[in-house]
Amino acid sequence: MRAEEIRELTSEDITARIAALEEERFRLRFRSASEPLEEPLRLRVIRRDLARLKTILRERRQAPTAR
């Protein structure tokens, strides 16, 4: 997911996407402990997408409101 795509989303959508990705990451990490993953690089992609989402959400919360 690219930063431009994320910026088009609302804050609520970003929060929902973060929750979904964290759930997926948890499930993948749990499975990786017991069996080899078919797509091990998916963990890296999820981690980076989470970082992008959280960064943009944080930027929005810290931005001064326009008057």
What is the pLDDT, as a whole number, of residue 63?
84
Q: Which among 21, 44, 67, 51 has a CA at the least distance from the CA of 59?
A: 51
Q: Which two tokens stand for residue 37?
A: 């993953």
Give the chain's domains with CATH numbers: 3-62 (1.10.287)
What is the pLDDT, as a whole number, of residue 66?
53
Q: Residue 47: in which H helix or E strand, if any?
A: helix 42-62
CB 46 within 8 A of CB 28: yes
CB 22 within 8 A of CB 43: no
Kindly report, residue by residue over 3-50, the tens digit of the pLDDT: 999 999 999 999 999 999 999 999 999 999 999 999 999 999 999 999
What's the start-to-end Cα distance of the chain, in Å?
Answer: 31
| pTM for the full predicted model | 0.87
What is the pLDDT, as a whole number, of residue 29?
95
